[in-house]
Amino acid sequence: MRNLKKNETKLWYSNYGKGNPILDENGDETGDYDSGYGSPVSFFATLSASKGNAYADVFGTNLDYTRTLSTVQKLPITEESLIWKSEPILNADGTVDEESADYTVAGIADGLNELVVALKARKKNA
């Protein structure tokens, strides 16, 4: 399977894991890390227009999702990942603003030549 370049959209993902190093009172790294989301990474993928029918779904009938994205790239996206349609907002300390994410990953179908990810829209504070 291939992606048509004209159908691809630039998106960003951030995985949950070992976050930023904890600094002491002198600004030196202590060797410990706080958990959180890492720096966002950009990628290109095809984003679906809307939710499909549950009976014809690759993710099953009980999964609640808003959109899907598909790509031929092998990405380390997990079910804890955040996805942005527009460039992610960073806090003053350089960490990612989790509230600015557009989607959370609801499910992953990793095939031999394609990665399909179910996305659930996040509520944003307006």
Domains and CATH numbers, the chain: 5-121 (2.40.10)
Q: In angstroms, rounded to a whole number, what is the distance separating the alpha carbons of residues 105 and 84?
A: 11
pLDDT at 77: 93
Residue 122 token pair: 């996040």
> What are the phi and psi torsion angles at 7 (to 5°)?
-95, -10
How is the chain split among helix, strand and coil, in percent rounded to 5? Answer: 5, 45, 50
Q: What is the pLDDT of residue 83?
A: 96
Quote the pTM value: 0.76
What is the DSSP code string of 62-83?
A: S---SEEEEESS-----TT-EE
Give the range with max mean pLDDT: 28-42, 54-68, 69-83. 69-83
What pLDDT score was predicted for residue 51? 67
Please give the share of the chain, as a percent, with pLDDT higher than 90: 31
Q: What pLDDT, on the 0 to 100 scale, is given for residue 49?
A: 79
